[in-house]
Amino acid sequence: MSSLSLWISSSVAVTARSESDHRLRLLSSSSATIATSPALHFCCLRTEALKLGAKSNRWKVVAAAVAPQNGSASDEFDYNLVIIGAGVGGHGAALHAAEKGWKTAIIEGDVVGGTCVNRGCVPSKALLAVSGRMRELQDEHHMKAFGLQVAAAGYDRQGVADHANNLASKIRSNLTNSLKGLGVDILEGVGTILGPQKVKYGKVGSSGNVITAKDIIIATGSVPFVPKGVEVDGKTVITSDQALKLEFVPDWIAIVGSGYIGLEFSDVYTALGSEVTFVEALDQLMPGFDPEIGKLAQRVLINPRKIDYYTGVFASKITPAKDGKPVIIDLIDAKTKEPKDTLEVDAALIATGRAPFTKGLGLENIRVETQRGFVPVDEHMQVIDVDGKLVPHVYCIGDANGKMMLAHAASAQGISVVEQISGKGNVVNHLSIPAACFTHPEISMVGLTEPQAREKAEKEGFEVSVAKTSFKANTKALAENEGEGLAKLIYRPDNGEILGVHIFGLHAADLIHEASNAIALGTRIQDIKFAVHAHPTLSEVLDELFKSAKVGRTGSLDPEIKSSPILHWLKSTPLVQVWHLLLSKFST
C-alpha cells in the first residue's frame, strides 16, 4: 500500500508539471514564482507565504520548548505584562507572553475562561451537539433513508444541561492548568488601572493590592446587551447566560435578535420541542450574513421548522410571566415606532448582541473615554485617549474594543499585542478571521460578503467575481444524506485574490479554515486550486470552489478550447488511466 502510493505520487508530479507548464502558457499574469519552480505547486504556495510573511512582519512560531517558570521582570516592575480578564483573549495573550519568557499575571474578577468558556461558545456547543442528534433522530425521513429504525427519541433536560455544564468546567480547568503550567500568575479580583503602568486588584470595596507592570492589556470582554424596556427576570425573560443553563424548555419562546446567538438557540430549542418566534429589528432575518447564504439558511433553518418571525420591529417592552400571565412582548415598527403587535409567549430570549464590559476599569485615570462602552484602540490594539493620542503601554483586546466580537479574534489580537510589544510590529488582519454559526447545518464565513466586496470593488476600481459550489455534488455529504449546502467564493478575477468565502452546509465551521488560512497567508486562487484534497471528504467542496473560479481569464485567450487537446491527450495516457483505476479502488 505505501509503496503503491509512492509510485502514484511520482506520477502525479510528472503530470502536474506538464499541466502547470501548459497553464503558464495560458495565463499571461502568472507570477514569476511559478515559472521558476516547475516542481510541485506546494512549493509556490510556501514561497508565496514566506514572502508575504516577511513583508507584513508576521510572527514566527516559537518552536523551542518553553520553560514552565516565569521569566523575571525588570527591576522596575512587578510584571512584564498584566492582563485584566482571563477570557479566551487574555488567555491567548498570557500564553504567548509566557512563551516569550515574560513574567505575566492575569487578573480575573469572576471565573477563568470568561464568556466563551462559561457562558458562550463552549456550553452552547454542548447544547448544539445534543440538538443536532435529537434533530437527526427525530427526522424519520432522514433515518429511513439510511435504513435505520429508531424508536421515538426523547431527552432528559437535566442530563442535557449537565453536559453543557460539565463541558464548561472541563474547559475552564484546562485553561487554568495551561496558565499555571506556564507559570502565569492568576490574581483574583477586579482589576483597576490606577495610572500609567499601575494596576490595583482585589475584591470590590477592599483596598486591594497594587502591582506595577511594564505593559497592560485590557481584556474584560462583554456581557449580553439588554435593550431598554426589557425586564430580564432570569426565568421567563432570559439572556444567553441563563439559556445555556437550560433550566426549562418552554413550549413557545420568542428570540429577540436573529444573529448567530439567536440562530443557534433556535436550533437548540426547536430540536428540544419548543416553537420559536424571532423578533428582528432589521428588514430581514440573519443580518450580517452574506445575503445569499442567509436566504438559503432561512430556507433550511427557519422555514421548515416550527419557527415564525417578525422583521422590521423592535421589542419595545418585554414583561416576564407573572400573576398567571404569559410573557408579553410589545412590538413597535422599527422605523415609524408605531405599535405593531403584541406577542404572548412562554419565554423570551434576548439575543440582541453583546455590550462591552468596561466599567470600573479606571480608564479615567489614564484619560481614556469609552465610546458606547468600547475602549478605543488603533490597529495595533493600543488604547487611544481623549485627545486621540496613543496611551503608552496600554492595550485593549477582544470584545472590549469591539473590533470583532469573537473569542478567537480576541486571542489573535492578544498574540498580536504581545508581538507588538516585543517590537515586531504586528497587525491582525481581521478579514482573515473566520466566523461560524453552529446550527445544523453550520454556517461559516471569512472576509467580505458579496455586497461588501462589490462596494469595495466599486471604490477601488477592480472587478469582482463569484463562484459557487453545492454540497449536492459532494460524495461525503451525500453519504451522510446531507446534500443541502452551498459554498461561495468572492474573488478578484484579475489577480486571484480571495475576498471572502461563505459556506452553508455540513461541517461548514470546520471547512472554512482552508479559506481563512489562504487569506491570512495571501495565497491566491491560482495556487491553492492545485492543493490536493483527500477523496471523499467534505473538503472537496472547497476544492471544487477554488477550481471553479476563473482567474486571469481574458476574452482573447479562451482556455476552454485550448486545453481540450491536452485533455484528450491526458485521458489517453495509460499512466492516467491506471491512476484513475487505482483511485477508484481506493475510494470505494
Partner 1 sequence: MASPLLSRVSISNATAGNTISFSSSVSNGLLWRRSAAFPDKSRRKVSTVQAKIREIFMPALSSTMTEGKIVSWIKSEGDVLSKGESVVVVESDKADMDVETFYDGILAAIVVGDGEVAPVGAPIGLLAETEEEIAEAKAKASKSGSSAPPPPPPPAPAAASASPAAPAVAPAKSAASAPVPDGPKKIVATPFAKKLAKQHKVDIGSVVGTGPFGRITPADVEAAAGISPSKSTGVNEVSPVAAAPAPVAAAAPKAAASPAPPPIPGSTVVPFTTMQAAVSKNMVESLSVPTFRVGYPVLTDKLDALYEKVKPKGVTMTALLAKAAAMALAQHPVVNASCKDGKSFTYNSSINIAVAVAINGGLITPVLQDADKLDLYLLSQKWKELVEKARAKQLQAHEYNSGTFTLSNLGMFGVDRFDAILPPGQGAIMAVGASKPTVVTDKDGFFSVKSKMLVNVTADHRIIYGADLAAFLQTFAKIVENPESLTL
Residue ranges of the binding site for NAD(+):
257-264, 280, 353
Q: Which three cell numbers stand for residue 50?
A: 514566506
Residues between 300 and 359 that touch partner 1 (CB under 8 A): 306-313, 319, 325-326, 328, 330-332, 338-342, 344, 346
**Between 484 and 523, how does the x/- string for binding to partner 1 read (CB under 8 A)?**
----------------------------------------
Nearest to 87 by CA among 191, 203, 210: 191
Residue 178, number of CB atoms within 10 A of its CB: 15
Nearer to partner 1, 332 or 384 (CB): 332
Residues between 370 and 429 that touch partner 1 (CB under 8 A): none
Residues between 161 and 200 that touch partner 1 (CB under 8 A): none
**Minimum CB distance to partner 1, residue 529 (Å):** 8
Reply yes or no on whether 533 is catalytic: no
Determine how β-strand 185-188 pairs with β-strand 104-108: parallel
Residue 296 touches partner 1, criterion: CB under 8 A: yes
Residue 469 touches partner 1, criterion: CB under 8 A: yes
User: Between the CA of residue 365 and those of 342, 369, 384, 402, 548, what are the distances in Å?
Assistant: 46, 10, 13, 21, 56
Q: Provide the CB-side half-sphere exposure for 102 (13 A, CA).
A: 25
Q: Which stretch binds partner 1 (CB under 8 A): 92-100, 159-167, 198-206, 564-572?
A: 564-572
Binding-site residue ranges: 125, 191, 220-222, 257-264, 280, 353, 399, 405-408
Q: Can you tell me the distance from the alpha carbon of 231 to that of 223, in angstroms, rounded to the nearest whole number?
A: 16
- SS3 at position 578: helix
Q: Which stretch binds partner 1 (CB under 8 A): 66-74, 189-197, 230-238, 531-539?
A: 531-539
Binding-site residue ranges for FAD: 125, 191, 220-222, 399, 405-408
- SS3 at position 103: coil
Q: Which stretch binds partner 1 (CB under 8 A): 109-117, 418-426, 511-519, 575-583?
A: 575-583
Q: Can you tell me the distance from the alpha carbon of 218 to that of 199, in angstroms, rounded to the nearest whole number?
A: 11
**Between 235 and 274, how does the x/- string for binding to partner 1 read (CB under 8 A)?**
----------------xx----------------------
Residue 475 touches partner 1, criterion: CB under 8 A: yes
With CB under 8 A as the contact rule, the residue among 151, 205, 388, 459 that binds partner 1 is 151
> Residue 485 — φ and ψ, nearest 5°?
160, 160
Q: Which of 142, 163, 513, 535 is catalytic?
A: 535
With CB under 8 A as the contact rule, the residue among 276, 406, 501, 512 that binds partner 1 is 276
Nearer to partner 1, 304 or 388 (CB): 304
- Residue 357, classified by CB atoms within 10 Å of its CB into exposed (0-12), middle (13-18) or buried (19+), is buried
Nearer to partner 1, 306 or 367 (CB): 306
With CB under 8 A as the contact rule, the residue among 470, 481, 495, 517 that binds partner 1 is 470
Nearest to 348 by CA among 228, 230, 460: 230
Determine how β-strand 185-188 pairs with β-strand 339-345: unpaired
Q: How many residues are present in the chain?
A: 588
- SS3 at position 568: helix
Q: Pick left, alpha or beta for residue 82 (phi over 0 → left; psi -120 to 50 → alpha; otherwise beta).
A: beta
Size of the site for partner 1 (CB under 8 A): 69
Nearest to 301 by CA among 258, 267, 350, 261: 267
Angle between helices 157-181 and 88-99 (to 10 degrees): 30
Q: Facing residues of 333 across strands?
A: 313
- SS3 at position 104: strand
Q: List the beta strands (DSSP E) in 230-312.
A: 237-239, 252-256, 275-280, 307-311
Q: Which stretch binds partner 1 (CB under 8 A): 70-78, 121-129, 369-377, 558-566?
A: 558-566
Nearer to partner 1, 117 or 300 (CB): 300
Q: Can you tell me the distance from the alpha carbon of 338 to that of 379, in angstroms, rounded to the nearest whole number?
A: 41
Among positive and negative, which fits the CA dihedral 40, 44, 47, 50? negative
Place of cell 419595545: 316
Nearer to partner 1, 24 or 204 (CB): 24
**Minimum CB distance to partner 1, residue 161 (Å):** 22
Could you give the maximum distance between any two Cα atoms of the chain, in Å?
83
With CB under 8 A as the contact rule, the residue among 468, 480, 510, 517 that binds partner 1 is 468
- SS3 at position 135: helix
**Between 20 and 49, how does the x/- string for binding to partner 1 read (CB under 8 A)?**
--xx--------------------------
Residue 123 touches partner 1, criterion: CB under 8 A: no
Give the binding site for partner 1 (CB under 8 A).
Answer: 12, 15-16, 19, 22-23, 151-152, 154, 251-252, 275-277, 295-296, 299, 306-313, 319, 325-326, 328, 330-332, 338-342, 344, 346, 468-470, 472-475, 529-530, 532-533, 535-536, 540, 543-544, 547-548, 559-560, 563-564, 566-567, 570, 576, 579-580, 583, 587
Active site residue ranges: 535
